[in-house]
Structure 1
């Protein structure tokens, strides 16, 4: 028997989880009011010191909250799973949505009237002063038009913080915030006062001193509050717990941790403070098992059961953190996603297996808590123990979509190809969804933009036009192409044009953050910001990348192969007939009122009977013909190689460019859940896809198109050049639970993963659930609040997702062995 099963969570964990599931997220105003007051008081200070003073004010006055039954304390909000507003990044969208936010389809929040009033007053200060204002001011009208037409978006960083980083948790556990302060004081004393940038460096070090001094006092506020609660606590057990919490917070994170409990509490303060300082998500704990294991081994006082409960408590705290996004972004990140990626396993910097006891305890915690956070992941390589892989497969079989799996044999050389040292590459972790990064040495701006490859193909088929307006270069009318090779040449030219505008938009947002939102607390925990005297936003990190991700690669590949097969090879239809069918959306109705700018609007032409009757064949028959064409995802080289080519064109074009921090752009291929939202911007495609319907997610085949089984589908995905997509690729599979049952199911499952990774796939993740369960949850959400599914590069409670995202998950192919 290789099945082990999982122990039961403690009553405390069950109570805390129930509180999370029953919470209705609210918007809170305290942080927004405090940051506004601080900015009014510091208008004559340099930006980095203004940021430091703002965080100091927030940490001095933000309400201190200790929730019932907690062992690990520290909360950004008074209410569970609620969110603060960060007006220094953007604010206009918040006020516009005061009346709709509670009832919107994706990620609703309650906005109490007194909160709306406080925010309205705070917002009066911010017009023209935000990161978004500056980024938009830098951006050309052409780039803005592309954003409006759904070609790409940089809204993630234009409207909010960057995040997407792993800091040096181990350093804090070892030397504490007092050690960081000592480092800043020493660096300040050693500066050459005659250096031309001395004044700027001085302000950076002073900012670190301000924020870390205030962070120490913030933890002391928790110590004092826990002590106060203990004095009035009637329950003897809880009283003792509160006294221990007070003792922990009076020591860490000011000083280094001496016990496993202190290490857990110190870790959490770091995780929390980063998300109070800035509004970026994907603050990823990284290789938790590596930096926490020494404290477990050294602690002779904590039982294994108590240590497990502490890790479980951290998992629950990670689910308490939340973020409010504008309505459009909420659809792209549906499910209150925070993307706090925590990864275990893999290898050490010396190239030996890194699996340890904490690696397995993290799997146990994921099973106990059974919630979306952390975005739990594992690293797999040739030296990964079978027991570790089997145990991971057991967790996946629970149906949480966790853990995701990453291949060292691809990611390490892909990172080296970007100039990362071998030792650092071996130490990679994963940020956010699927983005490889070097912990506490990288500012990767992962997830910098969404790029709609399928939209580029649509524009190509219209000779650069969009809605009868010349939008891109003229590369040939559809009827002029005599081969797939000619069409690919035109597609590449359009891609080059729109990627250049994408790069411009990304760099505008990047510069705006550097000028208006430097983050001194975060930067002090990233190498080598203190040594270089620069914040992360100014290029202080050792490795600097920008990572925009593509989606629609599968749709483009299937479309190009359908043209090759049905037009050029078998000659069953002509390009003229194909164009007419596409313009008519295959005779399918389109709700014109729901079509965003950039989506095909020729339906009314067809309805008026203006299409040339000589070429007006049965468009539905054409659609069925196109839809029957062999597709990517079935281990067919002819179509898989076109998918590889489409992905390569994007990746190679992206990596030509540099960012303002002196680093390189690198491509990713993953959608979050933007494949659903941005599908609404794309008209009918030559693979038979109807206008406005979802695109494929990541490097996965189109929903329902991978019909030759899971191994054939994985073989197709492995043929892509994952080494080029060093910002990450995302592959989803969905299995019927019966396929993975018993020892034989686990062995088959783990063997498929090993085979896929042997063939150089980068990443894979799974939903293990049947269609009927998902449909039942959609109809009766109140009965399925604890149902967690894999959406894209993250898991979420199924009932919190918008219906079109739920439908997308339901439509994915159910694989079985």
Structure 2
């Protein structure tokens, strides 16, 4: 039986947190310089060899630091929350933004002039050598055009490493990297020079050995540094801590861990160094409470550690998880605002035999999030019929703090959904969550989750424009909407636009996938994923047991409400003609042309003039702009557009437990999830759909025109599978019922359901019980995921006005939590707009 007794927070933790957030995050250049040095020295060698040698060169030479009060050591930068850069993936966006990255609205980073100069010099080497440049060369021209027109964006892996993986932490804890080196050597001994795959496999296995040895040497550097610091330390308590750190680092991760403290340190080196090898995020610790528990239990039983001391180590890891950081391009930073790395750590659930495996560490992980009150790790909890009630109550207590943690996941849906994708029952039962909401089996999967953001609203715009956007044919020509006589004809046009745009997204993703395998394979990551060693292939080349690609669609609620409104108002009640609807959308209902629409229309006219062979210069552009700005609908048109908008408001909306609307939304979701799953990726795996936006619904909504559900142009679209903000008016249970009616079993890459509660709703034990009952009810109806903000609107509005008073206000954004004051204003507004529920 697990222990739910609270453990007091160590006085060490506030000191670590204060030091972590004392200054703006900093961009450093050490890694970029070191990898460039190594690549210059290994020209002509196989890419897998170059990757391993570069990784080793970085770990032998990158500056290291042990910060005050740390018990768990290993930092990728000298500055707290700093980041390195990764020019082998892409660099041009950073080159272009070096002078603006410190002043941008989302996730700014300080960068010294000296660092800028060093990076500019480094970047000269990488022209024509990056994975992003190779990916572009592989893409079809139509796919590139679709990206330029914001139909979808694959920028996550286009510019960065993939990440989105949970490796075999348990194997490193058990046998260390010496054990993994032995496994690689054993495979190498099986190789014969005449084997058809000898060249590729032998070089891969040697790259694994080089990488693992480099990690061992890196830990030894920390052991030596801690020893030196101990020799100079006059504080006897800290001196002993440093000596213990030195001893730990001299043993792990080279060898298997022999204590809980060693296991914690070994875990951290794995977690940190995966993100030194690659710029990929969502490196997720997975079922931490399961693989760490044997070491905790052994030490508790032997009396060599107390529960309080073990909790302090966990809390230190939680702080360290917030130390890792990465810089993204400005547009991506808007979509991932909050400096998040999406390191998802999950507790509870079942073992491979179907037994509940809740233990002491499951609760202590929840307590760690209470103690540090920081966004990382992105804590999650597995829920099933056998989940102990008191574990859910303890989780609800954490939710009640307002931190947006944990997120709740339904075993009863996720396990069969993964089986449907080919996982064995045993593997499916042992799933964990990656990044935001994506399920997979740890140590066996390359899921390529978050492969692209697909805006389901844009294909509907292409239906109204007959495939045109800004004067170019971007979609396919599905006909004049004003001549479509039935809703079925109109809906069919939307499906055709969707299918065409999905095919372009697949083309872009596959191009990027191939580029990663050819230019940036990851031998270190691959040594901790089955069956890379036996296959002699990196993860990027298809070495994993399970290979998927998981791009996510968003805008479900907008599209369901839009299509339902068109069916109702145009084809059933005949209150609005399609011509009127089209005009209302073009004029943004009663708002008229906004600045973005004026710009778009001007660009379209100018391009048409150029295509017609007319001369276009600065004066011409100004004249066109002035003409467009003078355009405005007649008073009669404006009155009618306002009337149409009011009629749309009266049409039933998704999120209110209305059968007809909810099951229609289910069909709309199928327009994305069903066509996608027929495609294969270059690693031999299938595509699987997700329905979640991270926080891209805000910036990508800003690139989207008015939609037929009454949404105004260039405003956020609905997040995840949640109802449109403010449209779910019948309470949390009704909203949950609507969301549960989507087919979560087919969307095996994850769904995301946000709800926001006033703090009074979770007050007292009664509030917690009602809250847990809501989760149980939603999961009984076969919903997949729920997550919550528990904060009142007034607090958020005051935090906008007085951010200095809310430095530690953490909120749930999308599939992650973040400090509210670090978010862009548009994303803050989106969170404030969400419906505030109560029981």
Q: Secondary structure at the match of 2:804?
A: helix
The C-alpha deviation readout for 1:279-311, integer Å capped at 9, x for no partner, is 000000000000000001111201110000000
Distance 2:345 2:526 in 1: 20
Query: Which residue number corresponds to residue 172 of structure 1?
Result: 172
Distance 1:797 1:198 in 2: 50
Q: 1:609/1:38 Cα in 2 relative to 1: closer, same or farther (>3 Å)?
A: closer
Distance 1:41 1:106 in 2: 37
Q: 1:131/1:685 Cα in 2 relative to 1: closer, same or farther (>3 Å)?
A: same
Distance 2:601 2:752 in 1: 26
The C-alpha deviation readout for 1:594-634, integer Å capped at 9, x for no partner, is 88869998999886557688866531221122123211001
Distance 2:247 2:658 in 1: 63
Query: Which residue number corresponds to residue 688 of structure 1?
Result: 710
Distance 2:632 2:729 in 1: 38
Q: 1:741/1:604 Cα in 2 relative to 1: closer, same or farther (>3 Å)?
A: farther
1:460 pairs with 460, 463, 468, which one?
A: 463
Query: Which residue number corresponds to residue 420 of structure 1?
Result: 423
The C-alpha deviation readout for 1:117-137, integer Å capped at 9, x for no partner, is 111111110000000110011
Deviates more, 1:141-150 or 1:799-808: 141-150
**Are positions 1:501 and 2:504 aligned together?**
yes
Distance 2:453 2:836 in 1: 27
Deviates more, 1:364-373 or 1:476-485: 476-485
Q: Secondary structure at the match of 2:109?
A: coil
**Are positions 1:390 and 2:412 aligned together?**
no
1:349 pairs with 325, 344, 352, which one?
A: 352
**Are positions 1:555 and 2:558 aligned together?**
yes
Would the aligned equivalents of 1:21 and 1:785 in 2 still touch at CA under 8 Å? no
Q: Secondary structure at the match of 1:84?
A: coil
Would the aligned equivalents of 1:104 and 1:327 in 2 still touch at CA under 8 Å? yes
Distance 1:251 1:413 in 2: 41
**Are positions 1:260 and 2:263 aligned together?**
no
Quote the offset at 1:482 in angstroms: 3.0
Distance 1:776 1:614 in 2: 41
Query: Which residue number corresponds to residue 743 of structure 2?
Result: 721
The C-alpha deviation readout for 1:419-464, integer Å capped at 9, x for no partner, is 1000000000000000001100000000000000011111112222
Query: Which residue number corresponds to residue 817 of structure 2?
Result: 795
Deviates more, 1:483-492 or 1:359-368: 483-492
Quote the offset at 1:331 in angstroms: 0.5
Q: 1:779/1:524 Cα in 2 relative to 1: closer, same or farther (>3 Å)?
A: same
Q: 1:409/1:521 Cα in 2 relative to 1: closer, same or farther (>3 Å)?
A: same
Q: 1:790/1:343 Cα in 2 relative to 1: closer, same or farther (>3 Å)?
A: same
Q: Secondary structure at the match of 1:114?
A: helix
Could you tell me which runs of 5 or more consecutive residues in structure 1 were left unpaired when the two chains were aligned: none
**Are positions 1:746 and 2:749 aligned together?**
no
Quote the offset at 1:37 in angstroms: 0.4
Distance 1:607 1:157 in 2: 39
Quote the offset at 1:36 in angstroms: 0.4
Count of paired positions: 815
Quote the offset at 1:192 in angstroms: 2.7
RMSD across aligned positions (CA): 1.8
Would the aligned equivalents of 1:597 and 1:681 in 2 still touch at CA under 8 Å? no
Q: 1:279/1:95 Cα in 2 relative to 1: closer, same or farther (>3 Å)?
A: same
Quote the offset at 1:576 in angstroms: 1.3
Distance 1:678 1:315 in 2: 32
Within a 5 Å distance, the mapping from 1:242-253 to structure 2 comes to: 242-253=242-253
Query: Which residue number corresponds to residue 309 of structure 2?
Result: 306
Q: 1:5/1:353 Cα in 2 relative to 1: closer, same or farther (>3 Å)?
A: closer
Q: 1:355/1:614 Cα in 2 relative to 1: closer, same or farther (>3 Å)?
A: same
Quote the offset at 1:466 in angstroms: 1.6
Q: Secondary structure at the match of 1:27?
A: coil
Distance 1:604 1:520 in 2: 57
1:540 pairs with 536, 543, 553, which one?
A: 543
Distance 1:42 1:596 in 2: 49
Report the TM-score when normalising by structure 1.
0.98
Q: 1:5/1:465 Cα in 2 relative to 1: closer, same or farther (>3 Å)?
A: farther
Quote the offset at 1:468 in angstroms: 4.0
Q: 1:399/1:5 Cα in 2 relative to 1: closer, same or farther (>3 Å)?
A: farther
Within a 5 Å distance, the mapping from 1:208-223 to structure 2 comes to: 208-223=208-223
Would the aligned equivalents of 2:336 and 2:695 in 1 still touch at CA under 8 Å? yes
Deviates more, 1:639-648 or 1:6-15: 6-15
Query: Which residue number corresponds to residue 197 of structure 1?
Result: 197
1:628 pairs with 628, 635, 650, which one?
A: 650
Query: Which residue number corresponds to residue 25 of structure 1?
Result: 25
**Are positions 1:770 and 2:792 aligned together?**
yes
Query: Which residue number corresponds to residue 808 of structure 1?
Result: 830
Q: 1:676/1:600 Cα in 2 relative to 1: closer, same or farther (>3 Å)?
A: farther
Would the aligned equivalents of 2:602 and 2:628 in 1 still touch at CA under 8 Å? no
2:698 pairs with 676, 689, 699, which one?
A: 676
2:318 pairs with 299, 307, 315, which one?
A: 315
Could you tell me which runs of 5 or more consecutive residues in structure 2 were left unpaired when the two chains were aligned: 606-624
Q: 1:501/1:595 Cα in 2 relative to 1: closer, same or farther (>3 Å)?
A: farther
Would the aligned equivalents of 2:459 and 2:475 in 1 still touch at CA under 8 Å? no
Distance 1:605 1:563 in 2: 32
Within a 5 Å distance, the mapping from 1:605-620 to structure 2 comes to: 608=630, 617-620=639-642
Report the TM-score when normalising by structure 2.
0.95
Query: Which residue number corresponds to residue 376 of structure 2?
Result: 373
Query: Which residue number corresponds to residue 580 of structure 1?
Result: 583
Would the aligned equivalents of 1:347 and 1:354 in 2 still touch at CA under 8 Å? yes
Would the aligned equivalents of 1:580 and 1:616 in 2 still touch at CA under 8 Å? no
Quote the offset at 1:10 in angstroms: 1.2
Distance 1:533 1:607 in 2: 62
Within a 5 Å distance, the mapping from 1:39-438 to structure 2 comes to: 39-299=39-299, 300=302, 301-438=304-441
Q: 1:459/1:486 Cα in 2 relative to 1: closer, same or farther (>3 Å)?
A: same
Q: Secondary structure at the match of 1:448?
A: strand
Quote the offset at 1:4 in angstroms: 7.7
Query: Which residue number corresponds to residue 732 of structure 1?
Result: 754
Q: 1:742/1:4 Cα in 2 relative to 1: closer, same or farther (>3 Å)?
A: farther
Quote the offset at 1:639 in angstroms: 1.5
Query: Which residue number corresponds to residue 704 of structure 1?
Result: 726
Q: Secondary structure at the match of 1:173?
A: helix
The C-alpha deviation readout for 1:168-204, integer Å capped at 9, x for no partner, is 0000000001000000111001113211110110100
Would the aligned equivalents of 2:139 and 2:507 in 1 still touch at CA under 8 Å? yes
Would the aligned equivalents of 1:25 and 1:79 in 2 still touch at CA under 8 Å? yes
Q: 1:308/1:172 Cα in 2 relative to 1: closer, same or farther (>3 Å)?
A: same
Would the aligned equivalents of 1:733 and 1:765 in 2 still touch at CA under 8 Å? yes
**Are positions 1:486 and 2:489 aligned together?**
yes
Quote the offset at 1:30 in angstroms: 0.2
Would the aligned equivalents of 2:601 and 2:628 in 1 still touch at CA under 8 Å? no
Q: Secondary structure at the match of 1:549?
A: strand
1:663 pairs with 654, 674, 685, which one?
A: 685
Would the aligned equivalents of 1:577 and 1:616 in 2 still touch at CA under 8 Å? no
The C-alpha deviation readout for 1:519-563, integer Å capped at 9, x for no partner, is 000000000000111000000000000000000111011111111
The C-alpha deviation readout for 1:103-159, integer Å capped at 9, x for no partner, is 101000001011111111111100000001100111122111111111001110010
Would the aligned equivalents of 1:466 and 1:598 in 2 still touch at CA under 8 Å? no
Would the aligned equivalents of 2:657 and 2:737 in 1 still touch at CA under 8 Å? yes
The C-alpha deviation readout for 1:736-788, integer Å capped at 9, x for no partner, is 00011011101110001000000000000000000011111111111111000
Quote the offset at 1:328 in angstroms: 0.5
Q: Secondary structure at the match of 1:472?
A: coil
Would the aligned equivalents of 2:408 and 2:785 in 1 still touch at CA under 8 Å? yes
Quote the offset at 1:643 in angstroms: 1.3
Q: Secondary structure at the match of 2:451?
A: strand
